[in-house]
C-alpha cells in the first residue's frame, strides 16, 4: 500500500543519509521504523542491504560517515571535499 506523508526537511535529509550509509532505501528504513514502533516482527530481509542502483551509490556511505554526525548540506560538501583531497 502506498501513502503520502509530510516529513520535516531536516529529518528527511538525515533519513536519506542513513539509508545511503546502510546501503538501503528510504522506503526500507521507514517500513522498518514503523514495524518497530508497532511492535511487529521485522521482515526476513531486514538485514539484507538493498543493492545500489547506481555505481556512485556506495560512495555516499563514505561521505556520510565523514560528515561528523552532521547531516546538513555544508557538512556533506566538506566531507566530499576532504575525500577528494585524500584526507579524513
How much is the pLDDT for 77? 78
For the chain, the helix, strand and coil percentages under 3-state DSSP, each to the nearest 5:
55, 0, 45
Give the CB-side neighbour count of residue 7, counting CA atoms within 13 A: 14
| Phi, psi dihedrals of residue 11, rounded to the nearest 5° | -65, -40
Cα–Cα distance measured from residue 44 to residue 26, given in angstroms and rounded to the nearest whole number:
17
For the record, the C-alpha cell of 60 comes out as 555516499
User: Does residue 45 or residue 82 have the better pLDDT?
Assistant: 82
For the ranges 11-15, 35-39, 81-85, the lowest mean pLDDT is seen at 81-85
> pTM, whole model, 2 decimals?
0.48
Q: How crowded is residue 68: how many other Cβ atoms within 10 Å of its Cβ? A: 9
Mean pLDDT of 20-39: 90
Amino acid at each position: 500500500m502506498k501513502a503520502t506523508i509530510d516529513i520535516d526537511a531536516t529529518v528527511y535529509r538525515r533519513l536519506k543519509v542513513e539509508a545511503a550509509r546502510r546501503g538501503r532505501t528510504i522506503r526500507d528504513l521507514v517500513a522498518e521504523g514503523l514495524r518497530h514502533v508497532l511492535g511487529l516482527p521485522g521482515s526476513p530481509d531486514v538485514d539484507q542491504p538493498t543493492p545500489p542502483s547506481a555505481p556512485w551509490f556506495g560512495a555516499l556511505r563514505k561521505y556520510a560517515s565523514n560528515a561528523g554526525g552532521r547531516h546538513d548540506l555544508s557538512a556533506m560538501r566538506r566531507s566530499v571535499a576532504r575525500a577528494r583531497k585524500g584526507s579524513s
